[in-house]
Structure 1
Amino acid sequence: MLAEDDMLFGGLLIGVGLYAFVDKWQATGLVKVETIYDVVLNISLVMVIAGGVIFVVSFAGCVGALRENTCLLKFYSLCLLIFFLLEMAIAIMGFVFPHTMQSVLEESFTDKIIQTYREDADLQNLIDFAQQEFRCCGLSSEGHMDWAKNEYFNCTSPSVERCGVPFSCCMNATDISVSTLGSHVEAKHINNCLHTLRGLVNIMCGYDVQELSVAEAGKKVWTSGCIEIVRSWAEKNLYTIAGFALGIALSQLFVIYLAKTLEGQIDLQKSRWNT
């Protein structure tokens, strides 16, 4: 039953990932896959690959149980064991060496993610969501100044966004002040305009913040990097995360035990037939 559910989940990931990949390919006409970073940061490709792995492994477990095929069952249990060991290795690294892991992630992904922010709509939406949910800006310890590495937000850029940050960095992205309406607007119309614009996202709220001091910028945008904020959040919720991880680990071990038990029963029955 568990293998069937995982197989359906894997198929769903493949379907959604393929749809997103084809949609992106039709919209841009080109999907660059030259380095490992291009694959890791392409959300649709990650979904297709993850879904494919889950589907193949679950299919092997399901067919192996139905057809009493010990080879497929061994493949299934071995894959689950590899997944379990990888998860444990990552969890131990995160819990025992959190600062080292933070440094590795910052050095490996900050520049690539910041630079491709405008090139991939899926990645852009994910970054905006993370910055709004975790109240952070940028990725590394440099915080909002990470966005100076993006060609649109760099202070040497001819773009109107030069020296700015994405709106998702703003403390209140829906705050549209009277000054943005322009001095030509008559006073009697200001209240009506503000009422109409209320709730809309002010994409200019992060403009020019790179030119401000950290103290001044901190009044308008979040100035801490997201990796540091996520690490601090994980440390505060350590027991909850550990309990959740332990539950997943125990369930995987239980499934491995069931697969090995079934494999042993099949081998025992075959040996009886041979005698």
Structure 2
Amino acid sequence: MCQCEGATTTTTTMGRMPDQEQSPPFVDVSPLHRIPLVFVNLLVFAVSCVVAFACISSIVDRGSEISFRRRSLLVSFVVNRDITALLFSLLMMVITFTGFVGALRENVGFLQCYIQGTCLLILLDILFVAATVTLPYLTKNKAHSIFSIELIVSYRDNPDYGKLVDYAQSTFECCGVTSERYRDWDQNLYFNCSKTNPSVERCSVPSSCCKPPDGDDVDTRLRRRFCGSGVLAGTEQQAWSKIYTRNCVDAFQSFVGAHTIVVLGVGIGIYTVIAALHYLATSVHDEILSLTHLYDRYYQKLNQGYPAWMAGREVAQEMSSADRRLVIRGARPTWIGRFYFRRY
């Protein structure tokens, strides 16, 4: 975009007359780059604030239930999903705030932080897709070491553990974590088959291990709720007729393997959006540096005694062949600058 005061005045074939233009050339950052960057980052920032507020409310409500003791780092963040979501939303708030302010106020420092933030998000996206896609190809021993038996042992001790295990077993139609499958529950204090166990759930497994019976009446739901009773004391065949006997690690690996294309599609979609924002931020950043250099040179010429029309023309001539100098200063000419310099 280029605006010059006095552009409609009469000019000679040699150029503008000295007294016919006393204002600097007006060149602005491309709105095609800046405006989408402003609104997209504002929208994501607002959504991140809502998510962060919801996560904080959940954490406050749960209070003492949250604990990282006796847990691996991975399991801790999987179980405490509100904490994981809070950390990610805070990260998004910081990144999108720098992008919004940087694009709105044309602030080079904020835009540099935003560009680095988008690089971090791209890296996280690639790591997530890579980890999800390679999970089905992990050896069983490696997968079992990641998903600890501690989930089973602490099933009744923490509501988060219970919810996570029940969700996994009912969703992936499995029971247990390790190669022992449903017999993992023999290691739980409340379900083990030892004679000293006074629990009414002795030799049982949770109802989330049960195969869904036909029907939805009260009797059917009660049978499902207590279908795991005494399973650990019976044979494999008896267990198979009532509950899922595959372990959840194998079930999850199979599930991810069957949905690899979907995961790749989502990952590529997220990557495309972040890469587009990265491109817009880089373009705005470079345009600001180019325009800053243009105006610096323009006013330097004015301070040296040049008339405005001559200063503008000489700066345009210098900038049209200043690729090397701009690279040294940490920027490069953008299409906005080149378009202006050709027209001048």
Structure 1 unmatched runs, 5+: 177-194
Note the 1:182-261 alignment, pairs <5 A: 196-197=218-219, 199=221, 202-261=224-283
* Residues 210 and 224 in structure 2, CA contact (< 8 A), matched pair in contact too: no
Query: How many angstroms does 1:96 deviate by?
Result: 4.5
Deviations 1:90-131 (A, max 9, x none): 433443563327643421232232233223324422332232
- 2:312 maps to 1:272: no
Match of 2:127 in 1: 89
Please name the residue that 2:98 is paired with.
60
Matched, 1:169 2:209: yes
What residue in structure 2 maps to residue 186 of structure 1?
Answer: none
Question: Is 122-131 or 45-54 further displaced after alignment?
Answer: 122-131
Change (3 A) 1:104 1:267: farther
The higher relative CO (CA closer than 8 Å, separation ≥ 6) is in 2
Q: Assess if the C-alpha contact under 8 Å between 2:132 and 2:263 holds in 1.
A: no
**Structure 1 266/31 Cα, relative in aligned 2: closer, same or farther at 3 Å?**
same
CA-CA distance at 1:233 after TM superposition: 2.0
**Cα distance in 1 for residues equivalent to 2:160 and 2:52:** 16
Q: How far did 1:137 drift?
A: 1.7
CA distance in 1, matches of 2:85, 2:135: 28
Residue identity matched to 1:238: T
The alignment of Structure 1 onto Structure 2 pairs a total of residues equal to: 254
Per the TM alignment, residue 40 of structure 1 is displaced from its structure 2 partner at its CA by 4.6
Amino acid at match of 2:109: C
Paired residue secondary structure (2:225): coil
Point out the more displaced range, 95-104 or 207-216: 95-104
Residue 40 to residue 199, structure 1, CA distance change in 2 (3 Å): closer
Does structure 1 retain, via aligned residues, the 8 Å contact 2:149–2:178? no
CA RMSD of aligned residues (A): 2.7
Aligned-pair distance for 1:173? 6.5
Are the equivalent residues in 2 in contact too, given 1:134–1:230 (CA < 8 A)? Answer: yes
How many Å separate the matches in 2 of 1:151 and 1:33? 20
Which of 35, 47, 50 is matched with 1:12 structurally? Answer: 50
Provide the residue aligned with 1:124 in structure 2. 162
Deviates more, 1:166-175 or 1:30-39: 30-39
Letter in 2 for 1:249: Y
The answer to whether the Cα contact below 8 Å between 1:41 and 1:113 also exists between their aligned partners in 2 is no
The aligned residue for residue 184 of structure 1 is none
Instruction: Measure, in 2, the Cα distance between the counterparts of 1:252 and 1:31.
Output: 33
In 1, distance between residues paired with 2:48 and 2:110?
A: 18
> Deviating runs (4+, > 6 A) in structure 1?
173-176
Q: Measure the CA separation in 1 of the matches of 2:168 and 2:210.
A: 13
- Tell me, in whole angstroms, the C-alpha distance in 2 between the residues paired with 1:94 and 1:236: 12
Q: Distance in 2 between matches of 1:92 and 1:58?
A: 25
Work out the CA distance in 1 between the residues paired with 2:230 and 2:288. Answer: 69
Say if 2:55 and 2:83, in contact at 8 Å, map to a contact too.
Answer: yes
**Equivalent AA in structure 1 for residue 230 of structure 2:** D
CA change 1:22–1:212 in 2 (3 A) is same
Change (3 A) 1:73 1:134: same
- Residue 57 of structure 1, CA deviation: 1.6
Q: Is the CA contact (8 Å cut-off) linking 1:93 and 1:101 kept in structure 2?
A: no
Aligned equivalents of 1:229 and 1:174: distance in 2?
Answer: 23
CA gap of 1:110–1:59, structure 2 versus 1, over 3 A, is: same
Structure 2 equivalent of residue 31 of structure 1 = 66
Residue 100 of structure 1: aligned partner: 138
Deviations 1:35-72 (A, max 9, x none): 63545522222222222122222222212221222222
Residues 131, 67 of structure 1: alpha-carbon distance in 2 compared, 3 angstrom cutoff? same
Would you say the 8 A contact 1:114–1:138 is kept in 2?
yes
- Name the stretch that deviates more: 97-106 or 151-160: 97-106
Q: Using the TM superposition, give the Cα deviation of residue 30 of structure 1 relative to its aligned residue in structure 2, in angstroms.
A: 5.3
Runs of 5+ consecutive residues of structure 2 not aligned to the other structure:
1-38, 298-344
Q: Quote the offset at 1:218 in angstroms.
A: 1.4
Give, in angstroms, the shift of residue 200 of structure 1.
Answer: 5.6
CA distance in 1, matches of 2:40, 2:98: 12
The answer to whether structure 1 residue 138 and structure 2 residue 176 are counterparts is yes
- Deviation (angstroms), 1:77: 2.2
Picking from 199, 207, 215, the partner of 1:159 is 199
In 1, Cα distance between the equivalents of 2:140 and 2:105? 46
Query: Which structure's CA Rg is the greater one?
Result: 2
Deviation at 1:82, TM superposition (A): 2.0
Residue-by-residue CA offset, 1:194-218 (whole Å, 9 max, x unaligned): x654556843221221223333211
